Amino acid sequence: MTRQSIKDPLVCNGAALRKASRRVTQLYDNLLAPCGLTISQRSVLVHVQRAGTPTMSELAHAMVLDRSALAHNLKPLERDGYLVQARDEKDGRSRRVALTPSGSAKLDEANLLWRTAQTRFEKTYGADRAAALRLALADIFSDEFAEAFLRD
């Protein structure tokens, strides 16, 4: 990409973010391939591990996904025995998601490969730039940004 195209007033922020996301996904997926997970699947397992046993709504919110997209992402992980869903004991209408022992082991395996991808990204892009990028992106995917965007 040339500098001129970056200055083009017709460049869409959304399109640029989606292209960058697809490229990074391709690169990370390539390095995660030996463990059989994609970066998206690893992300689901990480979010579940961090939250313990989140409800579907809690997990969808944390991952910035709608519930139908989340359900689609959970299916192969459940099929492979990495996650289970169970009815919430306090609210029978809600379902909770939990990591299985097999899922925990698969996440450990994926994390070793993910660390390589992360290291390569930071080496190629620069550690300081990568840290600044993560902060900027966290700002963009925050609820506060969405609320401000929708207000204007």
Does some domain include residue 37? yes
CB 102 within 8 A of CB 81: yes
The pLDDT value recorded for residue 50 is 96
**Residue 49 CB partners (closer than 8 Å, separation 6+):** 99, 104, 107
CB 34 within 8 A of CB 117: no
Structural domain total, the chain: 1
* 5 inside domain: no
Structural domain boundaries enclosing 71: 12-116
Nearest to 54, CA basis, from 95, 92, 90: 95
- The answer to the question of residue 133 being in a domain is no
Q: What CATH number is associated with residue 88?
A: 1.10.10.10
122 in any annotated domain: no
In this prediction, the residues of the chain whose per-residue pLDDT falls under 50 are none
pLDDT at 10: 65
Residue 123 lies in a domain: no
Q: What DSSP letter does each residue of 16-62 carry, written as one string?
A: HHHHHHHHHHHHHHHHHGGGT--HHHHHHHHHHHHHSS-BHHHHHHH
Q: Is residue 42 part of a domain?
A: yes
Closest CA to 64 of 52, 83, 79, 47: 47
Question: Which pLDDT score, from 0 to 100, does residue 94 have?
Answer: 85
- Residue 92 in any domain: the answer is yes
Is residue 28 included in any domain, yes or no?
yes
Contacts for 97 with CB less than 8 Å, ≥ 6 apart: 48, 53, 54, 55, 56, 59, 74, 83, 84, 85
pTM for the model stands at 0.88
**Measured distance CA(109)–CA(95) in Å, rounded:** 27
